[in-house]
Amino acid sequence: MKTLDESVARAKAAERLGYESVWVTQLPHARDAELVLAAYAHATQRVGFGTGILPIYTRHPTAMVQMAATLDELSGGRFTLGIGVSHKVTVESMWGCARASAMVVVPSTGNISPPTGLIQVPAARRCRS
């Protein structure tokens, strides 16, 4: 795993080289993806960035929306939120959550809206602590 400084240097290099965007994933034994992206936003001016993909089971829907809205504001609109259900090995073995059938509902506008109603996750999203 790269240090945070090395990761930020890569994002700055991507911007300098003209890349359109940089992406991060969230894994159980890695840095918090959202905080890494906040560091990217602070260190860059133009390059877009996003999550590909944040699992819906590990973060409350309201907290997910709050994080996305904050990163979008911090970056001046350069943030793209990618969410998904992940897969059984990651959800159950690595995160310790019960993977139930999940339905994700996002408004057709695709805009970040107030937390109520943006994402619906079944009550069965229980993780061991």
6-20, 37-51, 52-66, 67-81: which range is least confident on average? 52-66
CA 21 to CA 58: how far, in whole Å?
25
Task: Name which residue leads in pLDDT, 32 or 99.
Answer: 32
Q: Say what the pLDDT of residue 116 is.
A: 42
129 within domain boundaries: no
Sheet holding 79-80, edge to edge: 21-24, 48-51, 79-80
pLDDT tens, residue by residue, 44-61? 999 999 998 888 877 888
124 within domain boundaries: no
32 within domain boundaries: yes
Q: Say what the pLDDT of residue 19 is.
A: 97
Domain coverage including residue 49: 4-94
113 within domain boundaries: no
Mean pLDDT of 9-17: 97
What backbone torsions phi and psi does residue 89 show, to the nearest 5 degrees? -60, -50
Instruction: Count the domains in the chain.
Output: 1
Q: What 3-state class would DSSP assign to 86? A: coil
47 within domain boundaries: yes
50 within domain boundaries: yes
| Share of residues in the chain with pLDDT > 70 (%) | 76
121 within domain boundaries: no
The DSSP output letter for 48 is: E
Task: Name which residue leads in pLDDT, 118 or 31.
Answer: 31
107 within domain boundaries: no
